[in-house]
Structures are given as C-alpha cells and as structure tokens.
Structure 1
C-alpha cells in the first residue's frame, strides 16, 4: 500500500525530477529526508510495480528516430509468448493486450526505417502471429499524463 510519503515522491518524480548530478538528493531535500530513503522507496515502488520505468521523454523525431504503433493478430494460446518476444526488442516502449481481432498492440521506436521494417518482419513471423499492421503517426499530438496522488 502506498504511504503518504510514496505519493508525494511519485508526484515529484513524474514531472519535477531535476536534471543535475544527484537528482534524488535534491528530491530528498524537498521531502526533508535523506537521499538513501528516496532511493530505497523508489526501489520498493519499482519492485512492487508502482513504477514500470523511470526515464526522460525525448522528441524522438527531432533526434532522427522513427516510430509506429503496431497491432498484431495473435492466436489466444500464444498471447503470452508473443508478448514476451515483442518485449525483448529494445525499441518497444509499450505492449498491451486488447479485445478484438488485432489483440496485441505495441509501440516501436527505432533509429531508422530499415531497422523498424526488420523488427516488424521478425515479429510478423513469430509462431502464433496471424497478422500485423503498422500504424505510423501522420500527425503529432502532445500527450502528457500526470497522476496526482
């Protein structure tokens, strides 16, 4: 269960994590605790799946990367194995099951189109995959989500 401290910590790290040599020391200062406490709580939160990933967001297109949202039609018995295989690709940032014919969706970020094409082809050929469609963005929208705990 989340403590009041955990909620305060999560609120800060979502949008206010400072860019400096010891960002967690600064967060600790804001929360009036020591850096070790912040690091211990973050580790606990990650171990208990409250945090999936901690990292910066960059405008990937400005950095020359290409991305796509992909939908995969996977036989029900193979969903777990296919999801695990997809998650093994370093450019996969999200992967989730959905209802419908195309029942597994993921986002893929690669350094060039040829790499994206190779990755999608490899995923298309996984056992249990009966189809894949790539849905690259044609227009960019800024989406920012902050959960106020």
Structure 2
C-alpha cells in the first residue's frame, strides 16, 4: 500500500463527498485521475483493506430491529458456519473471538420475527447447539477512524 492508498483510506473511512461525482472530488483532492481513485478503491477492497463501502443508516429510526448473537462453534467448523452466517443479507458484522462463544454477529431486519427466523435457520444450517441473543438495551455509537497516511 503506497501513500496515496493510505490517504485515500484516511479520507473515505469518514465518508464520501456528497456530490454527483464523489470519486472525481477525491481525485482532485489527491491530485490523481478519477479512474485511478476507482481502481485503487476496488484494489483495496479486493485485497481486504476495505470490507464494505456504503451508507450508514440509523436502522431503528427506519423501523428495523437488531440483535447481537454469540454462538459456540467448534474450531473445525468455523469456516463452514461463517459461510452460513454470512449468507444472510441481514448480517452486518461477523467476528471470531477467543472465547467459548467464539463467533459473534449482528442481525438487522425489518421485524423481530425475521430475526428469529434467521437465528433458527443459522442454528439448523450450521448445526449450532448454543446461541445467545443479545438485543440492545441501550445504544452507544462509537466512531473510530485510523490515521494511515503520514501527512
């Protein structure tokens, strides 16, 4: 990753410019071509530096429900169960932890019923014996950004 990639990540992790051509605006800021910005972002995503690019919405205000789930997965089944979990569009995060409950993921869906359908399906498809459902009682919004470039 070169310094331009680092600067591009510094800028985009806090959002894209709200203009008709956001990649052109980024290009002008970085003094490179628009197509190079697009190429670099695609390359960074393909290499795993960028997980996703998209809007962040307040799902509760939009009428959605959410929960955090924790499951115990045998080490030899982690990859398989991850694929099962990640097959649902409603899953927004999925992390492996060093704990008895070693896979944690969030579900955001239009209803509590849909969340329960997904949890039931994951238990069945992934042959998961133990799942904890942890809906939020209080929300905390933490914004993290990481300075990568030298400038």
Shorter-normalised TM-score: what interval?
over 0.9
User: Which stretch shifts more, 134-143 or 76-85?
Assistant: 76-85
Structure 2 residue aligned with 1:129: 128
Task: Give the distance between the partners of 1:79 and 1:34, measured in 2 at CA.
Answer: 42
SS of the residue aligned with 1:80?
helix
Please state how far the C-alpha of 1:84 moved relative to its aligned partner: 0.6
Task: Give the distance between the partners of 1:59 and 1:36, measured in 2 at CA.
Answer: 31
Structure 1 residue aligned with 2:27: 28
TM-score (norm 1): 0.94
Q: Is the 8 A contact 2:67 2:136 kept in 1?
A: yes
Which runs of 4 or more aligned residues in structure 1 lie more than 6 Å from their structure 2 counterparts after TM superposition?
none
Please state how far the C-alpha of 1:76 moved relative to its aligned partner: 2.5
Please state how far the C-alpha of 1:75 moved relative to its aligned partner: 2.4
Q: Is the 8 A contact 2:84 2:126 kept in 1?
A: no
Please state how far the C-alpha of 1:129 moved relative to its aligned partner: 1.1
Structure 2 residue aligned with 1:80: 79
Which segments of 5 or more consecutive residues in structure 1 lack a partner in the other structure? Answer: none
Task: Give the distance between the partners of 1:74 and 1:102, measured in 2 at CA.
Answer: 7
TM-score (norm 2): 0.93
